[in-house]
Amino acid sequence: MQALWRRDVKRRLVAGGLDIAAALARAGMMPKARGRGAIFTLHHVRPKRTRPLQPSAHLEVTPDFLSDAIERLSAEGYEFIPLAEIPARLAKPARQPFAAFTLDDGYRNNAEYALPVFARHGVPFTVFVTRGFAERTHSLWWETLAELLGREREINFDFGDGAKIMDLTSEALKFDAFDRFSSYVGEIDETTAVSRIDALARRHGIDALNITAELTMDRRELQSLAAHPLASLGAHTLTHRAVARLSAEDAREEMRQSADYVETLTGERPKAIAYPYGTRQAVSGRDWTIAHDLGFSVAVTTQPGTLCEKSASRLTGLPRISLNGYYQQPRYVSALASGIPFTLGA
């Protein structure tokens, strides 16, 4: 019952910290924290909407906010570069700070809403493609759960200690349930967990793969997007599993075959890969080495931070800054790009 309260308190604390960082940056404090530049992470880019349950609202920003973010960074002197150019940029003496934009999972709204914004500002970007989503063989379990938990008042599920009925009669209870399922996906074999979530959804009349088809681009759409001069496609594995939890052989195949698939779409081997989830629990130093051995020149996590000269020695484990749906204010973009929140939080 505490999920909503905890989330609200956390968001207020984060917003307060960003306001302090923005003030410090305006005052010229801690200039070294900015480093050489930053890679920004996006997922959904679409107009604001309402749903019965939005547990992943942090992964959604509006096209207007994306435009505001680009304008703020431009006003602060950032140069917008393709992700693949970062190794060369880090190898040269510092000029102006740079920014690269990335979008994970291949959502259709990336082409419908994000592309026009990037095109209007002349900003290059990379979309990371999961083959299982594009071919409709794998579900987006977090989207499936949002649909399921949002519509039901109770569900029956076995997390491993016997089937139990989960009360979903309030928003707080729905968020608690979502958090429990999220933990479940990280506790057991991910393929098994997602399969059981999909089966639960089917019992309630929801086809998880239909959700995948509704939300993500297929092969033809990805090829059309890749034809735009500002767009690049990167690898995002086959099945969107946390590679750190796989054997080294399986992690390698997830990455290699993902690159193979992107190459069939574009005719070019992708230079970049994004690790699914990208947290410290989801990707390890072993996986950085695998990505390097497979020939990726850039690989990105979701661990927050800016880039500096030292980043050149860990190009397959680079940090990114998330443009978070809860903090859609230009001053927060300035605060994040300053690097101060990550320095203070280190």
Read off φ and ψ for residue 201, nearest 5 degrees.
Answer: -60, -40
pLDDT reported for residue 95: 81
Q: Cβ distance 199 to 205 under 8 Å? A: no
Query: What is the set of domains in the chain, with CATH numbers?
Result: 35-137+216-345 (3.20.20.370), 141-211 (no CATH)
Q: Where are the beta strands (DSSP E) in the chain?
A: 37-42, 44-45, 60-61, 79-80, 98-104, 125-129, 154-158, 163-167, 231-235, 272-274, 298-300, 321-322
pLDDT reported for residue 1: 47
If phi over 0 gives left and psi between -120 and 50 gives alpha, with beta otherwise, what is residue 304? Answer: beta
pLDDT reported for residue 4: 63
CA distances from 4 to 191, 311, 323 (A): 29, 37, 21
User: What pTM value is reported for the model?
Assistant: 0.95
pLDDT reported for residue 100: 98
CA distance 111 to 201: 28
pLDDT reported for residue 273: 98
pLDDT in tens, the chain (346 residues): 455 667 777 788 788 888 888 788 888 889 888 999 999 999 999 999 888 899 999 999 999 999 999 999 999 999 999 999 999 999 998 789 999 999 999 999 999 999 999 999 999 999 999 999 999 999 999 999 999 999 999 999 999 999 999 999 999 999 999 999 999 999 999 999 999 999 999 999 999 999 999 999 999 999 999 999 999 999 999 999 999 999 999 999 999 999 999 999 999 999 999 999 999 999 999 999 999 999 999 999 999 999 999 999 999 999 999 999 999 999 999 999 999 999 877 5
CA distance 258 to 278: 16
